[in-house]
Structure 1
């Protein structure tokens, strides 16, 4: 079943009189009426839009076969023609499904029609009908079976009921764009209403099954649509669907994985919609995969890999060389084309074709062209009726003849020198091979310029503007609607059904049911973290006399109300609750509020509830993401407002924290900015390769964006290969191997000659976690200037800091270790200063104060001292008299 055709009336001279080309593209089919005068503009329009729209053309006003020929070559999909034109066009097109016969007064009998289109695929076009009842009767007689399509246009704007009536009789309504509106113009037909006119649903709720695909037709997932969601999708030009539980679903509104709508169409029996979209962000699925049916494969997977490499190519990678060296890429395309031509067996041809596709697609991606663009051009070429002979150019024909005769063909371009051939792990087949070695790139820091090293160690850019545009409406909703917004957002984002957004202390025992082993592990970690942070307390105020009669002091007071964000969802993170809750308790914060996403049944993992109980939290906010941050920043009916928000989280949590900390009306601060997790390991010849690999992988498993760096001090190739073998061996045994593979993909090994060079590089990078697997590691710590936390020696894996050693694991990332400390006791307190002066003290310091106030022209400041001193002088005078 085809959706209605929309007639674009005079789009060449007055495009504002009808729907815009972008809106026309969303509904898949467009009809242009072309005259000799508008032919040039029509050709331009079709050429520009044929890859985004299915464009039919009414050519009944054109007498020239050459003009019609040019429209077909430009990409017109279908021609609406007269009876007289039909006999001329059928041999020209050689595919009569691209024709529709215009019914006119001379040829309206059924016998004439049947005779004209018998044994063809030619459609029928009833033009500008006035008697809709008669057309409906004729369509009923014609039937709804498997026959060429019928098109019906109207002499005047029809009622929506007439459009529905025609569509249900298996005809395609043709509607003037001037009759239609996207935003609800009075007396006009809504585009969404027209699109849904012939669509049916057998569901009780009336929702229409909707298949979401990318531009290549790869299925991303299955959703549902309603009239309201289709209307909103067309209005916004984005993927908007109807959730069966949560209402309108703006795809990617919180995850950033938005969709740009390409078009909407329906299947053959009109009970399923298809949304063609350009998927943004991590992918369609909530599991952050490209599709709900798993990751992309084949050419689609290769394209995604190349696009990622173009955005942030790992330094030293082969693909990075191809993007930066046009001559090398050209030579490789020519080389692989020749090897494909010379291949003999089925396996050889497939192997060489894969290599050629890799280099050809690299060329496309480098120019901003994707597979959908290529396929659209293939489709466009298929519509052409003009064909050139197709002979090869002489230089290639000669080369082919020589190769066929067993002679060496002249090379079109020299092959690249073998000195810089890619490493085995960087061959063109890599992106297609899930079993390729999991291996870090090697860079020799001694032979690399400072500028190149800076590029190697640069973190990926964070797209804050896009994230903020998603986060801001969420924060506004919570700020305005309070608890009801939290309950709604929990259902929308976490699929959790809540009656209240808050779980209050005392927490019931059944919510803290843990195994004895888990409870003992939490208790031990709690004790160590408590001991370490309690030792940081300032037992006495600082008091000092800066001069006679002037005493200054500084004393500590806890921040009264703190909000602690603990990431949740499918993960269980009691360690983060401990790292934030224990120092808050030690500091003496009077109100501790935890926030973590609820599970679908509305509960929280018992480990987190148990930690909340141990640290004395007054409540747990059952929310995640920016909505949790907003609730704690502004407060709701049930959520207490806090003074400071702390804790890690994804990019939406981070954006939410940055937003509220800059909003003076919130009056809230945050712990620190955040980025992806990081580890930097410095290892020398004394390091155990298995230990080094385990430390690298323990950070790589956090996420594909984790930053993993190894600095190898004085290691030869054999030493590095031992570590690389361990990385691969241990990685493939991990349950999160694909995440590890993604992180290692952009990780790097830097080779240095001395420990001093290694520490200098580490200080430049300023890692979140610094691991020293070197001789005299404790001595090396003296040179560390920038790091979140340091792990000293072979027996100190980073994981002990994450859980139970006692140090805090909430640390600065993204290079912020240059300016920020990790969470500690001071994070939860504030220092207040006091001054206490005697008369002697004011006389000693008053002259300086008055002079500086005079310089700054702050007369009231100066007078505050002067008045006191004058009063004191008068008192003395009175006493002496």
Structure 2
């Protein structure tokens, strides 16, 4: 709330700085530099042009105060009413038309003296405008006059020649006395409740002020308050946590005050934190963290890398901006926007810019009265020209506005010329923000855990836009729910037979028996995991193949309960192809849910969803995070198959490779999603043949229905040139791809040298598609480099192995002393005693 409006008619820098703390200042066009918040009053318009006024408003001048003739011209030019105040003398009020009255938001009324009745009638005439009164008297108004004006909706304009930092006199009024004129206190001690907040409006704490403390704050520009016990409290006088006062405002009914300050030191609170209301969060917390990391982040940390590597920071901002543009679901938009804000704020902090400066810039932009067309720059509205430099790491392409016939191509790097650090970047996948995602899915998991089916039904309605009455289908499954094309049925049956045959061969049915020494027999035997959950995604493609790949090994292993979870279709049903597979693999229940809520339901169980012991299957980042969360919860007692990331393929090709085959293999993986990882390792391939592969990629991609997805994934994929097969194999083993395809002379011989891969496809007639669907191997494979330590899903994944041992009396006589000696060595007397008591009994 503004109490009075200062008019700068006398130069006094200390006075001007103090006035800026309590509101805007009225200046003339010639006064420079202008205060940050100011109105410009135009009385002599002979040297002023319309363009000048527009420029001032665009530069951030709050309002222009203009006479009637100028007001008509500016209103006709489209200047917003909130930026215009009309300059009138009392005799000109009757000349104001309705157009002018409705085209301004304020009136500056010049009067010989303060006539409350006259001012009240003008206020009623301009009922939608603020009224400012400039009196011709040379003496300042009293505090009671200021209060009376405010009571009829008007505020006084006080020339700086009538204001002072010194005590109020007959010719000048102290700034604080004028500012505090309307304030009232309902406290016995007469103090005013005062909210102290940051420059961005985040609360630091509640204190109290007195007229004396406010006066000192206005004059000194430092945070000064009134302690109820100790008198004046100059913040930071002993702790060093001082404050620079940016603004002081009254609330709407003039009984409390807000101080906006720049806080120094540990913080406002006596507990050495920024706010008395607890730890800060959100953007202020991120800003504080980044400022701290800028000064003290250890070498090698990711934040230090961001601050030291401007190109990395630039690339991440572009990457996250692109991901935000592509996000559609509400939660995905929020997730990607948070990522973009993180990297953008890192850029700002690196440049010494904080949230306050960003908000000031936003406010300044909002004040502009003219606007550019707002069209995107050419590089963002059309295909970006190919980079003259072959970057070691591909950047995302913004193809939402890319012409549909634009060339689709990969980036390229040559291992012979890249530096070691660049080679390391070639091996990197997109950063999986596991911690952030787990925090996002935890409320969903907790909701399902606590409320069961009710939560599942609500979350399915929210995320899948399907209103269900029940969440689970139990066998026998209705025949009409499995009606599929006979050709598709035949294909599924053949795939089922091949996959089952291969997985049956993996079954551990026999018992391993070894006599480690006479009388000591050890054995190991397999038992199926009793209850398993199979997650079958239902996002951009229907995936009955995933139901086969998970359901068949579970069936072969002998799991007693098989719960298959998959998101429902728009009508609440499950695709008949998936239903048919569920029937073939003997699923004991089908959960009509997806995402983190499906994982939670299987991990903890609900009224209708059986609890499982292990969860299998791929999914998006929400599914992956939920699986990681529940496997670490001892209350869930559930394990998972493996970590997951975007699907990926690495193709090694030499001079024998068919360009069309290679391109087809790359594209078959690229169509999975925009984050699919696609790498071609070219072994001594001539530039001409490499160009032919690139041409095939482009031609084949444009024939695909999922060309927009392919354009994204191929646009950030890479071709790595190597000189020898050995060099290519070393790179592949370091990359550890989910799918590895060998288009090589003597490809079969190379398999012996592959240490890290989810599944290998050998030779020109072994497309990765066959492994995905029907050759017999499993397509649920480790991604994101986890092929270094994980196997793909197999029959053994659905079993656990139990060991047993049986020792005879004679056997214990030989083994017992060894065990007792080792137990004594470790200080475990009871262990040793369990052996010795038996040895004594057998003597």
TM-score range, shorter chain: 0.5 to 0.7
**Aligned residue for 1:474?**
444
Offset of residue 501 of structure 1:
1.3
**Aligned residue for 2:233?**
none
1:569/1:598 contact within 8 Å kept: no
TM-score, normalised relative to structure 2: 0.63
Give CA-to-partner distance per residue, 1:163-188, whole Å, 9 cap, x none.
Answer: xxxxxxxxxxxx999899999x9xxx
Offset of residue 282 of structure 1:
3.4
Name whichever of 687-696 and 450-459 sits farther off: 450-459
Alignment map for 1:460-499 (pairs within 5 Å)? 460-499=430-469
The answer for unaligned runs of 5 or more in structure 2 is: 5-11, 39-55, 110-117, 133-145, 151-182, 185-192, 206-250, 253-280, 285-319, 370-385
Alpha-carbon distance between aligned partners in 2 of 1:450 and 1:288, rounded to the nearest angstrom:
40
Q: CA RMSD in A?
A: 5.1
Alpha-carbon distance between aligned partners in 1 of 2:564 and 2:78, rounded to the nearest angstrom:
71
Match of 2:803 among 833, 842, 858: 833
Match of 1:862 among 827, 832, 842: 832
Alpha-carbon distance between aligned partners in 2 of 1:790 and 1:484, rounded to the nearest angstrom:
44
TM-score, normalised relative to structure 1: 0.61
Offset of residue 448 of structure 1:
2.8
2:322/2:396 contact within 8 Å kept: no
Give CA-to-partner distance per residue, 1:179-224, whole Å, 9 cap, x none.
Answer: 99999x9xxxxxxxx99xxxxxxxxxxxxxxxxxxxxxxxxxxxxx
**Aligned residue for 2:240?**
none
- Cα 1:810–1:96, aligned 2, differ >3 Å: closer, same or farther? closer
1:674/1:813 contact within 8 Å kept: yes
Counterpart of 2:692 in 1: which secondary structure?
Answer: helix
Match of 1:124 among 85, 91, 106: 106
2:670/2:677 contact within 8 Å kept: yes
Asked if residue 114 in structure 1 is aligned to residue 96 in structure 2, the reply is yes
1:769/1:790 contact within 8 Å kept: yes
Counterpart of 1:447 in 2: which secondary structure?
Answer: coil
Alignment map for 1:101-180 (pairs within 5 Å)? 101=85, 111=93, 114=96, 118=100, 121-124=103-106, 150-151=129-130
Give CA-to-partner distance per residue, 1:784-805, whole Å, 9 cap, x none.
Answer: 1100000011111000000011
Match of 1:551 among 480, 503, 521: 521
Counterpart of 1:630 in 2: which secondary structure?
Answer: helix
- Cα 1:677–1:155, aligned 2, differ >3 Å: closer, same or farther? farther
Offset of residue 686 of structure 1:
0.9
* Structure of higher CA gyration radius: 2
- Cα 1:96–1:731, aligned 2, differ >3 Å: closer, same or farther? closer
Give CA-to-partner distance per residue, 1:805-849, whole Å, 9 cap, x none.
Answer: 110000000000000000000000000000100011111111111
Match of 1:741 among 701, 711, 714: 711
Counterpart of 1:723 in 2: which secondary structure?
Answer: helix
Give CA-to-partner distance per residue, 1:140-162, whole Å, 9 cap, x none.
Answer: 9879xxxxx63599989x9xxxx
**Aligned residue for 1:40?**
17
Offset of residue 510 of structure 1:
1.0
Alpha-carbon distance between aligned partners in 1 of 2:656 and 2:488, rounded to the nearest angstrom:
35
2:644/2:784 contact within 8 Å kept: yes
Offset of residue 124 of structure 1:
3.0
Alpha-carbon distance between aligned partners in 2 of 1:126 and 1:439, rounded to the nearest angstrom:
65
- Cα 1:637–1:65, aligned 2, differ >3 Å: closer, same or farther? same
Alpha-carbon distance between aligned partners in 2 of 1:509 and 1:672, rounded to the nearest angstrom:
34
Counterpart of 1:862 in 2: which secondary structure?
Answer: helix
Give CA-to-partner distance per residue, 1:51-92, whole Å, 9 cap, x none.
Answer: xxxxxx5547999966866534796453497999x99xx99x
Offset of residue 550 of structure 1:
0.2
Offset of residue 529 of structure 1:
0.6
1:690/1:726 contact within 8 Å kept: yes
Match of 1:771 among 719, 722, 741: 741
**Aligned residue for 2:668?**
698
1:9/1:178 contact within 8 Å kept: no
Asked if residue 447 in structure 1 is aligned to residue 417 in structure 2, the reply is yes
1:528/1:806 contact within 8 Å kept: yes
Offset of residue 377 of structure 1:
5.8
Alpha-carbon distance between aligned partners in 1 of 2:551 and 2:330, rounded to the nearest angstrom:
30
- Cα 1:562–1:825, aligned 2, differ >3 Å: closer, same or farther? same
Match of 2:62 among 72, 75, 78: 78
**Aligned residue for 2:773?**
803
Give CA-to-partner distance per residue, 1:523-571, whole Å, 9 cap, x none.
Answer: 1111111000001112310001000100000000000000000001452
Offset of residue 436 of structure 1:
3.5
Alpha-carbon distance between aligned partners in 2 of 1:498 and 1:116, rounded to the nearest angstrom:
58
Asked if residue 457 in structure 1 is aligned to residue 424 in structure 2, the reply is no
**Aligned residue for 1:162?**
none
Match of 1:524 among 465, 489, 494: 494
Offset of residue 515 of structure 1:
1.0
Offset of residue 237 of structure 1:
9.3
Offset of residue 441 of structure 1:
1.8
**Aligned residue for 2:324?**
282
Alpha-carbon distance between aligned partners in 2 of 1:796 and 1:585, rounded to the nearest angstrom:
27
Alpha-carbon distance between aligned partners in 2 of 1:368 and 1:791, rounded to the nearest angstrom:
52
Counterpart of 1:446 in 2: which secondary structure?
Answer: coil
Alpha-carbon distance between aligned partners in 1 of 2:456 and 2:366, rounded to the nearest angstrom:
53
Alignment map for 1:558-569 (pairs within 5 Å)? 558-569=528-539
**Aligned residue for 1:608?**
578
Asked if residue 501 in structure 1 is aligned to residue 476 in structure 2, the reply is no
Counterpart of 2:741 in 1: which secondary structure?
Answer: strand
1:59/1:81 contact within 8 Å kept: no
Offset of residue 420 of structure 1:
6.5
Alpha-carbon distance between aligned partners in 2 of 1:731 and 1:713, rounded to the nearest angstrom:
23
The count of residues paired between Structure 1 and Structure 2 equals 613
Name whichever of 600-609 and 789-798 sits farther off: 600-609
